[in-house]
């Protein structure tokens, strides 16, 4: 048994009690299905044919027994249908939770190459297909196997020659089924991929709906969806074609089996090798024999859908996080904020050019440092390496004298607060979004953080104040308001190291001045790294580091860099003229 097979079976473990109860009920349903025709055969052959004097009493007694068996069968069927589906839903929930937790472990480099819609499909469509397989698969196998082999044995006891004729159909049916199963599997794999493409396209369009409408490009987005929709229909069409041939062919085989029974059974009655009562019983069992064939047809579909979904599920689950704690990683308790870059080089892919090359930089504890330079020189990338959102290719980064690879990720990132240029707020209230910085914060602490970020006044002007729902991604707020909430979130976290990636870019002059004052107050005993395009915002930085394509071009205070009339002075003077 390979690792994937073991993983597949492991999801049954928490629900073994429910699983075995489900299987017992499935077994009883199948056994009763076999007993009922025997009861009917007893009436036709032993009671009616022999003309028993108490025939009426025996018929009523047998009818009562059959009714009782049907009640038991119905109860088992209800249990299987209800509790079996619940078991499948619980297993689906476990898999979805595991996949979601795994998503959270994967680094930015993984998400740089993925589409959100495809990842969503693996959590929804794929896991649902798996839940159906987990629930129906074992039931179908037990029901089909018991009915099939039980019927075969009973038919042999009635008439061996006729049974062997019927079972001559089986090898041909098997080859036929295997061929179309393979075609179904290929088609299902393509279909699942297309569903992911549709989800990705819809997610992309809806996330950017304001851009779509502002450029009146609704027709362009409809064309994009029409293309992936067409591909989806083509893949589904191929799958349904294979399924139709598969299902229709097997049903035809079962009908040919029934014809064979009627023809050869009738001949056997004429030749006195079979009596009419046995013929009736035989036909009843042939009807039962077609049920497991149909069940196996349905199981083949469930299996193909489920196993395709499982393989896609495992493809993601087997992706090892490229950034994780080392075996001897330590948890820092008191972080001073001393950050060192020692010969650091980084590129996003092996076949790409280096974004940073041989960068050496020493940021002292509590120092207020600003990074400036043209777009694309790696300012944001350099800051993303500190919390290990990406792994350096060469060199090392040290925090308080320790390589960050030797520090637990939770401790490392817990000591760093980040306000990104692209602000992200969650659906919910203002209070909930600020509290994200410190989940156990009191309302008073949240309000204090909002005041420091100059956000309290506009929050109080909202319809419900701090309890106002801000909508998906904060759509009910202005750009400046959203940015101030993200800044308040970091103020609440109160970490020893703070990274601001153009954190005041969306603020008006008055708000910017208020936030600047708060930032400079917050720098006391904290390491502050600010990425700035508006150079007027970082005049008070203790050190300004100018980056260009070759690395660190120059560094110093604002006054010293202006006096040197280098790159920084040129950038600053250009902004003054604007």
Can you give the pLDDT at residue 49?
54
Token pair recorded at residue 76: 């088992």
What digits encode the pLDDT tens for the residues 151-198? 788 878 877 888 888 778 778 877 887 787 778 777 777 777 787 788
Tokens of 284: 């009843």
Q: Which of 115-119, 329-333, 334-338 reaches the highest mean pLDDT?
A: 334-338
Reported as a pLDDT band with limits 50, 70 and 90, residue 508 is: low
* pLDDT confidence band for 343 (50 / 70 / 90): very high
Nearest to 90 by CA among 9, 192, 18: 18
pLDDT in tens, 111-160: 888 877 778 878 887 888 888 888 888 888 888 888 888 878 887 887 78
- Residue identified by tokens 């049916």 is 173
More confident residue, 49 or 96: 96
CA distances from 147 to 134, 151, 433 (A): 21, 6, 58
**Alpha-carbon gap, residue 522 to 71, rounded angstroms:** 74
- Of residues 292 and 403, more confidence is placed in 403
pLDDT at 405 over 60: yes
Using pLDDT thresholds of 50, 70 and 90, give the confidence band for residue 17: very high
pLDDT of residue 386: 92
Q: Which residue has the higher pLDDT, 504 or 409?
A: 409
Coil/strand/helix, residue 129? helix
Position 467 pLDDT exceeds 70: yes
Length of the chain: 578
Q: What is the mean pLDDT of residues 231-242?
A: 81
Sequence-separated contacts (24+) of 568-576 with Cβ below 8 Å = 568/372, 568/535, 568/544, 571/372, 571/535, 571/546, 572/535, 575/534, 575/535, 575/536
Q: In the chain, helix, strand, coil percent, each to 5? A: 65, 10, 25
- The CA distance from 150 to 31, in Å, is 8
pLDDT value of position 364: 93
**Measured on CA atoms in the order 422, 427, 429, 432, is the torsion positive or negative?**
negative
Q: Is the pLDDT of residue 281 over 80?
A: no
Residues 270-280: what's their mean pLDDT? 74
With H, G, I as helix, E, B as strand and everything else as coil, classify residue 369.
strand
- In this predicted structure, the answer to whether residue 240 has a pLDDT above a threshold of 90 is no
Domain with CATH 1.20.1560.10 in the chain: 84-317
Confidence of residue 398 (pLDDT cuts 50, 70, 90): very high
Task: Note the pLDDT of residue 427.
Answer: 78
Closest to 166 (Cα-Cα) out of 301, 38, 293: 293
Alpha carbons 472 and 495: distance in angstroms, whole number: 27
Which phi and psi angles does 106 have, rounded to 5°?
A: -75, 145
Q: Among 272, 51, 290, which Cα is nearest to 166's?
A: 290
CB 414 within 8 A of CB 438: no
Strands 339-346 and 356-363: antiparallel
pLDDT digits (tens, 9 = 90+) for 249-263: 877 887 787 788 788
- Dihedral (Cα; 286, 288, 289, 294), 10-degree rounding: 130
- What pLDDT shows up at residue 504? 63
Task: Please say if the pLDDT value at position 498 is more than 60.
Answer: yes
| Residue 344, both tokens | 């650091």
The angle at the Cα of 251, spanning 44 to 176, to the nearest 5 degrees, equals: 130
Tokens of 380: 């944001």
From CA 489, how far away is CA 434, in angstroms rounded? 4
Residue 15 confidence (pLDDT):
92
How sure is the predictor about 443, in pLDDT bands with cuts at 50, 70 and 90? Answer: very high
- Tens of pLDDT, residue by residue over 474-496, are 777 877 788 888 888 888 888 89
Where helices occur in 318-408 by DSSP H, the ranges are: 379-385
The mean pLDDT of 40-57, rounded to a whole number, is 65
**Is 545:552 a contact under the CB 8 Å cutoff?**
yes
| Pairing status of strand 394-399 against strand 402-403 | antiparallel
Q: Which residues contact 214 (CB under 8 A, 6 or more apart)?
A: none
Share of residues in the chain with pLDDT > 90 (%):
15
Distance CA 475, CA 359 (A): 39
Strands 368-372 and 527-531: parallel
DSSP state at residue 440: T
* Residue 375 backbone dihedrals phi, psi, to 5 degrees: -60, 140
Give the number of other CB atoms < 10 A from CB of residue 417. Answer: 24
Q: Which residue did the predictor score with more confidence, 442 or 251?
A: 442
How would you list the strands of the sheet with 339-346, edge to edge? 356-363, 339-346, 394-399, 402-403
Q: For residue 359, report the phi and psi dihedrals to the nearest 5 degrees.
A: -85, 125
How many CA atoms does the CB half-sphere of 409 hold within 13 Å?
16
- Answer yes or no: is pLDDT of 227 > 60: yes
Candidate from 350-354, 489-493, 495-499 with smallest mean pLDDT: 350-354
Q: Are 503 and 476 in contact (CB under 8 A)?
A: no
SS (H, E, C) 378-403: CHHHHHHHCCCCCCCCEEEEEECCEE
- Mean pLDDT, rounded, for 511-518: 66
Q: What is the CATH number of domain 84-317?
A: 1.20.1560.10
| Mean pLDDT for the stretch of residues 18-43 | 84
CB atoms within 10 A of CB 426: 12
Assigned CATH topology for domain 425-494: Rossmann fold (3.40.50)
CATH 3.40.50.300 domain range(s) in the chain: 425-494
Q: Are 359 and 551 in contact (CB under 8 A)?
A: yes
Tell me the average pLDDT across 51-69: 78
**DSSP class of residue 40?**
H
Residue 349 phi, psi (nearest 5): -140, 155
| Whether the Cβ atoms of residue 386 and residue 497 lie closer than 8 Å to each other | yes
Tell how many helices (H) and how many strands (E) occur in the chain.
20, 10
Q: Is the pLDDT of residue 465 over 60?
A: yes
The pLDDT value given to residue 338: 92
What DSSP element (H or E) covers 160? helix 160-167
- Is the pLDDT confidence value at 41 over 70? no
């Amino acid at each position: 048994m390979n690792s994937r097979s073991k993983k597949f079976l492991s999801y049954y473990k928490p629900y073994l009690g429910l699983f075995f109860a489900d299987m017992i009920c499935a077994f009883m349903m199948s056994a009763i299905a076999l007993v009922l025709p025997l009861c009917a055969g007893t009436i036709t052959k032993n009671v009616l044919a022999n003309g028993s004097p108490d025939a009426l009493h025996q018929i009523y007694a047998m009818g009562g027994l059959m009714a009782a068996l049907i009640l038991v069968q119905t109860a088992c069927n209800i249990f299987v249908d209800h509790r079996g589906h619940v078991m499948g839903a619980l297993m689906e929930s476990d898999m979805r939770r595991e996949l979601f937790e795994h998503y959270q472990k994967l680094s930015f480099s993984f998400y740089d190459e993925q589409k959100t819609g495809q990842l969503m499909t693996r959590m929804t469509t794929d896991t649902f297909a798996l839940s159906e397989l987990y629930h129906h698969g074992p039931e179908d196998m037990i029901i089909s196997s018991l009915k099939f082999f039980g019927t075969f044995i009973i038919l042999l006891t009635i008439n061996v020659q006729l049974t062997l004729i019927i079972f001559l159909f089986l090898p041909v049916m098997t080859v036929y089924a295997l061929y179309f199963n393979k075609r179904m599997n290929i088609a299902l794999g393509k279909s699942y991929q297309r569903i992911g493409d549709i989800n990705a396209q819809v997610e992309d369009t809806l996330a950017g709906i304001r851009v779509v409408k502002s450029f009146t490009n609704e027709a362009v987005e409809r064309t994009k969806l029409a293309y992936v929709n067409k591909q989806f229909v083509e893949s589904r069409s191929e799958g349904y074609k294979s399924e139709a041939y598969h299902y229709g062919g097997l049903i035809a085989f079962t009908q040919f089996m029934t014809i064979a029974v009627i023809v050869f059974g009738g001949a056997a009655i004429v030749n006195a090798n079979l009596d009419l009562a046995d013929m009736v019983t035989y036909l009843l069992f042939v009807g039962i024999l077609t049920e497991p064939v149909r069940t196996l047809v349905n199981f083949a579909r469930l299996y193909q859908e489920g196993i395709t979904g499982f393989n896609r599920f495992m493809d993601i689950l087997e992706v090892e996080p490229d950034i994780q704690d080392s075996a001897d990683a330590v948890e820092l308790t008191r972080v001073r904020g001393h950050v060192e870059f020692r010969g650091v080089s980084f590129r996003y892919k092996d076949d790409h050019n280096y974004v940073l090359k041989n960068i050496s930089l020493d940021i002292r504890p509590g120092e207020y440092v600003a990074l400036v330079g043209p777009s694309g020189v790696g300012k944001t990338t350099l800051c993303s390496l500190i919390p290990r959102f990406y792994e350096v290719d060469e060199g090392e980064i040290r925090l308080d004298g320790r390589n960050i690879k030797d520090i637990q990720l939770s401790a490392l990132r817990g000591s760093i607060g980040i306000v990104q240029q692209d602000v992200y707020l969650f659906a919910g209230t203002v209070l909930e979004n600020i509290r994200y910085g410190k989940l156990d914060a009191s309302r008073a602490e949240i309000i204090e953080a909002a005041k420091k970020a100059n956000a309290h006044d506009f929050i109080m002007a909202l319809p419900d104040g701090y309890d106002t729902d801000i909508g998906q991604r904060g759509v009910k707020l202005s750009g400046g308001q959203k940015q101030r909430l993200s800044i308040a979130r970091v103020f609440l976290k109160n970490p020893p190291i703070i990274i601001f990636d153009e954190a005041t870019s969306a603020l008006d002059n008055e708000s910017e001045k208020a936030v600047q004052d708060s930032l400079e107050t917050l720098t006391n005993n904290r390491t502050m790294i600010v990425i700035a395009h508006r150079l007027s915002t970082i005049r008070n930085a203790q050190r300004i580091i100018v980056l260009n394509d070759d690395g660190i071009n120059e560094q110093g205070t604002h006054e010293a860099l202006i006096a040197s009339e280098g790159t920084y002075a040129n950038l600053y003077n250009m902004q003054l003229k604007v």
